[in-house]
């Protein structure tokens, strides 16, 4: 029987399980206690002192780390508490770059919101010395501006615990403390995997994506270039949040319409590239399975995961699928197959990808993801950057009529759209692999065993006479645990899916910011994934090999999956990376 604790919070009687914090108990009672350093399931350290409460003890306690006890009488909203919080907030502001209007997090900054909530508008009471830092802009994906850092350590917890990368941490003591990489190096010179989970965790503008919107605007204004765009599956599950729509609202039709209004010549869909990926990756897996190839085969769609593997687990590089990621495959097809069909010189085509992921910016620059001297993808913008472009263009996104993607490289199946959720690549692959191996039609295409937000999921799937053991991991800390179990011989699998970010692409480092308070109320991973599964259910075709435009691509251009031309255009190689640059 569960051990329950009874307490009173602001006069409200509350009963919660033992071990619950006062912050969690207050939330259950409908009482919001302000927080800054707290981030559910990631950072609970009581450092910022914004969540202090009065329990009758000699000193106020931090609600995020204070466990409940029987008979506890908690006050969260006394004049002394409010004044103490204001003092703490003003002290933070005294060493903070307060240029809010030109900050990327203006109106989504938790520090700014707390100032509004607590009525803090006097920032000179503790005026004195301020630390100033150079902005680190060397990474292709992430900008770090310590002038806006409040030392909450949420980014440190995300990097160390969620991702098991650990390339940032507190350095120095007292007033001189800052968050930085070892030996003062740039993020570009350490083993950062560019995933952007530090950005998603940051409450201020201390971390943000490397902005590419000006480059994209310049491309759109260049009449000598054919500028085409492709949005990833996960973008449609989150973009609406930037315009006040409920989390988990699919906005596929509005997304296509908005991109067209921004001026792109063609609006294709990375879901098509996902279907193409399944054809190549599924065929590669069948070949390894039947011909004694390296197993387990591990998916290669997530660039953060790929860089993590190259850096921290290089012995697993032979296990990686040689397939490029979906948007890179689509970029290659745009500059070859589509260019040939349209009679356009590939040198005059520019491909822009809209991604939920900051690591895609790094990926697009990899020299091996090119053909005939041309990068497969020219520019990558995140979901947040696209939202800023839509707002800058004055487009009324919420009231846009739904439109379809352009044909040829815009038609997709349900298998393509679920790529954005953890387990989606595995499920899409199994739908095709099963039918290709057995020749039979799947009666039920939903492989629910690989769905959900557990850190590691396992399943055994009967494919003809063979039992295929599969595993799914999301977040590189979970990937590390899974790989360690394979390396030690504890686990044996045939096929593994890894996504670099928790929940997969739906909560990538480039998705709309979700505040700490909102994370206490809902699970973005589950809500956004549900939007993708809903779209999958509504698709007339739900298996990649049934996509008629993919079939036409092989019939008229590539020949067959894993053909010589397919390998030339759609596959790549990987290499071990040093953890630090010399």
Active site residues: 281, 284, 301, 321, 360, 363, 368, 505
Query: Distance of alpha carbon 408 from its chain centroid, rounded?
Result: 28
CB contact at 8 A, 124 and 157: no
Give dist(CA 129, CA 320) in Å, integer.
51
Locate tokens 């890179």: which residue?
328
CB contact at 8 A, 455 and 473: yes
Give dist(CA 170, CA 153) in Å, integer.
8
Give dist(CA 177, CA 213) in Å, integer.
33
CB contact at 8 A, 51 and 63: yes
Give dist(CA 331, CA 336) in Å, integer.
9
Sign of the C-alpha dihedral, residues 106, 158, 451, 521?
negative
Query: Distance of alpha carbon 41 from its chain centroid, rounded?
Result: 16
Locate tokens 């098991």: which residue?
164
Identify the CA nearest to 159 among candidates 308, 315, 360: 308
Question: Measured between alpha carbons, how far is residue 166 from residues 71, 145, 206 in Å?
Answer: 41, 18, 17
Half-sphere exposure of 367 (CA within 13 A, CB side): 1
Question: Measured between alpha carbons, how far is residue 195 from residues 248, 304, 355, 362, 382 in Å?
Answer: 22, 5, 12, 10, 12
Q: 462 pairs with which residues across the strands?
A: 467
CB contact at 8 A, 277 and 497: no
Three-state DSSP state, 55: coil
Q: What are phi and psi of 230, to 5 degrees?
A: -145, 120
CB contact at 8 A, 308 and 479: yes
Half-sphere exposure of 128 (CA within 13 A, CB side): 6
CB contact at 8 A, 304 and 165: no
55 is written with which tokens?
A: 């329990």
Contacts of 396 (CB under 8 A, 6+ apart): none
Containing 245, the helix (H) or strand (E) segment is: none
Give dist(CA 199, CA 203) in Å, integer.
8
């Amino acid at each position: 029987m569960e051990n329950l604790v009874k307490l009173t919070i602001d006069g409200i009687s509350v009963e919660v399980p033992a071990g619950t914090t006062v912050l969690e108990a207050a939330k259950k009672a409908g009482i919001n206690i302000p927080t800054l350093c707290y981030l559910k399931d990631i950072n609970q350290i009581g450092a910022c002192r914004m969540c202090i409460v009065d329990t009758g003890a000699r000193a106020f306690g931090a609600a995020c780390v204070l466990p409940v006890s029987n008979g506890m009488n908690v006050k969260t909203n006394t004049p002394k508490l409010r004044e103490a919080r204001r003092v703490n907030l003003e002290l933070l502001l005294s060493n903070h770059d307060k240029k809010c209007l030109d900050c990327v997090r203006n109106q989504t900054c938790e520090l700014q919101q707390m100032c509004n909530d607590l009525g803090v508008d006097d920032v000179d009471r503790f005026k004195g010395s301020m630390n100033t830092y150079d902005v680190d802009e060397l990474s292709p994906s992430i900008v770090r501006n310590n002038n806006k850092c409040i030392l909450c350590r949420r980014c440190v917890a995300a990097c160390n615990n969620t991702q098991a990368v650990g390339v940032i941490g507190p350095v120095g003591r007292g007033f001189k403390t800052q968050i930085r990489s070892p030996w003062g190096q740039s993020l570009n010179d350490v083993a950062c995997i560019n995933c952007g989970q530090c950005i998603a965790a940051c409450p201020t503008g201390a971390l943000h994506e490397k902005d590419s919107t000006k480059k994209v605007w310049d491309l759109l204004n260049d009449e000598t270039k054919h500028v085409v765009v492709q949005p990833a599956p996960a973008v449609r599950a989150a973009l609406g949040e930037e315009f006040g729509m409920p989390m988990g609202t699919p906005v596929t039709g509005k997304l296509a319409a908005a991109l067209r209004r921004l001026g792109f010549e063609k609006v294709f869909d990375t879901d098509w590239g996902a279907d193409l990926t399944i054809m190549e990756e599924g065929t590669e897996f069948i070949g390894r399975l039947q011909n004694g190839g390296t197993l387990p085969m591990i998916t290669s769609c997530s660039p953060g995961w790929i860089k993590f593997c190259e850096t921290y687990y290089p012995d697993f590089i032979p296990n990686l699928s040689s397939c490029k990621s979906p948007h890179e495959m689509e970029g290659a097809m745009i500059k070859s197959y589509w260019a040939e069909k349209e009679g356009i010189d590939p040198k005059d085509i520019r491909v822009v990808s809209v991604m939920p992921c900051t690591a895609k910016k790094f990926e697009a620059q990899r020299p091996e993801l090119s053909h005939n001297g041309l990068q497969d993808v020219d520019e990558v913008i995140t979901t947040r950057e696209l939202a800023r472009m839509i707002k800058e263009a004055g487009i009324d996104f919420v009231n846009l009529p739904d439109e379809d993607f352009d044909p040829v490289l815009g038609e997709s199946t349900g298998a393509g759209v679920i790529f954005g959720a953890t387990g989606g690549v595995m499920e899409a692959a199994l739908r095709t692999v099963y039918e290709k191996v057995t020749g039979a039609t799947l009666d039920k295409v939903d492989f629910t065993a690989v769905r959900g937000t557990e850190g590691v999921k396992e399943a055994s799937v009967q494919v003809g006479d063979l039992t295929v053991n599969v595993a799914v991991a999301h977040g590189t800390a979970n990937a590390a645990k899974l790989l360690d179990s394979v390396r030690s011989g504890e686990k044996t699998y045939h096929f593994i899916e890894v996504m670099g970010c928790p929940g997969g692409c739906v909560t990538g480092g480039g998705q709309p910011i979700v505040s700490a308070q909102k994370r206490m109320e809902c699970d973005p991973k589950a809500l956004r994934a549900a939007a993708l599964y809903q779209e999958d259910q509504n698709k007339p075709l739900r298996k990649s090999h049934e996509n008629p435009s993919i079939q036409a691509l092989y019939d008229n251009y590539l020949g067959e999956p894993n053909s010589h031309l397919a390998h030339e255009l759609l596959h790549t190689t990987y290499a071990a990376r040093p953890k630090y640059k010399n």
